[in-house]
Amino acid sequence: MDEFFQGKKQNDWRKLIDDVLKNSTLSFKEIEFKPHSEDEYLRAGTSPHDSWLHIHDEWEKSLREDFHELDKEYVNISVSYYKEATAEEIKAIALAEIKHFLGEKPNCRNKFVKWKLNDSCSRSVHTSNHKDLISSSLERIWDGMRILPYTNEQIASALATSLALFFDNTISQSLQKIELVSTQEVISIATVEIDDLISTFRPDLISILSQPSKQNNPLDLLISLRPQYLFDFDKLIGLFANWIVPTQVFLKAKNGQSGGALFFSPLSVKKIGPKMF
């Protein structure tokens, strides 16, 4: 539903802009951006990476959850940290606590979970409203990932990274912004470490490129190639858990968006590319 309503809003904005341009007395110059085609980048006969074939069904079947299958029980967890902790220390503490929680309660992944920051951990810059925002953001990550075949470690990593971002939002400022585009042309923004992004490329990349030198321009590769031709699926899952999922949620919360489309699986997007504007 989030994707549907965001897509409708995007289309409404496009129509509004078109109407303004048509009725304006000003002259506008249209600039069209045309990325290189896949054919220009890939050798003839190149196939999607094998990693997209052997677990595709497992992930696709998990994209939907029937409401009657969900255990309507709230499980509460408090995440603690000491007052002077750095963002990295908060991440490490939260990661350990969440992994312990998931290990102790193996059936919790079919339940609602309420995430609460311990009162003793409050900082003067974090009001009760801010703590509620953090808790609701952690709930969005939990509900989006728990039904997918992520490991407990990966879910814990996403939750802990999100928590660290809220306590030091300068972390995201040094990251590469990327756009995730669904088959319905709905867009969500995330940020990643560029080196971590490059490390998820398929290991045989140089052998499938029409010109090996093209691997020196990773952002051009993102623009021109579909995910299944560029990425190793298993490594991309790790990137979603470590960066893409938590930063999507953080950026929406930072921008005051209580809803909006979030993509928790590579199978939900047809394109992953650098944010152009």
> What tens digit of pLDDT does each residue of 103-162 get?
998 888 888 888 887 755 555 445 567 888 888 999 999 999 998 999 999 999 999 999
> What tens digit of pLDDT does each residue of 49-58 get?
999 987 767 7
CA distances, 252 to each of 2, 157, 216, 236, 257 (Å): 13, 19, 32, 22, 5
Q: In what order do the strands lie in the sheet with 187-192?
A: 187-192, 176-181, 271-274
Cα separation of 199 and 73, whole Å?
39
Cα separation of 175 and 153, whole Å?
23
* Residue 175 CB-density burial (10 A; 0-12 exposed, 13-18 middle, 19+ buried): middle
The DSSP 8-state label assigned to residue 70 in this structure reads S
> What tens digit of pLDDT does each residue of 250-261 get?
999 988 876 788
Residues 75-83: what's their mean pLDDT? 76
For residue 28, what pLDDT is reported?
A: 60
Q: Which residue has the higher pLDDT, 7 or 219?
A: 219
Cα separation of 177 and 190, whole Å?
6
Residue 208 pLDDT more than 90? yes
For residue 90, what pLDDT is reported?
A: 86
For residue 197, what pLDDT is reported?
A: 95
What mean pLDDT, rounded, does the chain reach? 82
Residue 164 pLDDT more than 60? yes
